[in-house]
Amino acid sequence: MFERLTLRGSIKNIWEPQAEALKLWDANRTTQDVLIQMNTGGGKTLVGLLIAQSLVNEQKGRVLYLCPNNQLIEQTTGAH
């Protein structure tokens, strides 16, 4: 999924835990609810944005991405 992106910015590759999370999500994507748990600093923001972009690209409906505070909003908008 990551390798197919055309707008990666300065991100050249992803970490192994991120790749594993994306593989597990892909294997379970037909399940109604999927939970991804990763350590602090493990790259959840990028994983979430990649999943959201994948769903948008496939026209699977709308995506709502929520952040609980302004600090995470700034982090998320800077992650893409």
CA–CA dist 29, 40 (Å, integer): 24
In sequence order, which ranges of 1-43 are alpha helices (DSSP H)? Answer: 16-27
DSSP three-state, residue 11: coil
DSSP three-state, residue 25: helix
Q: What is the pLDDT of residues 9-61, one digit of tens each?
A: 667 788 999 999 999 999 998 888 888 888 988 988 889 888 888 888 888 77
Specify the pLDDT at position 78. 72
Specify the pLDDT at position 22. 92
Split into its structural domains, the chain has a count of 1
**49: Cα separation from own chain's centroid:** 3
Task: Give me the domain span that covers residue 17.
Answer: 2-79
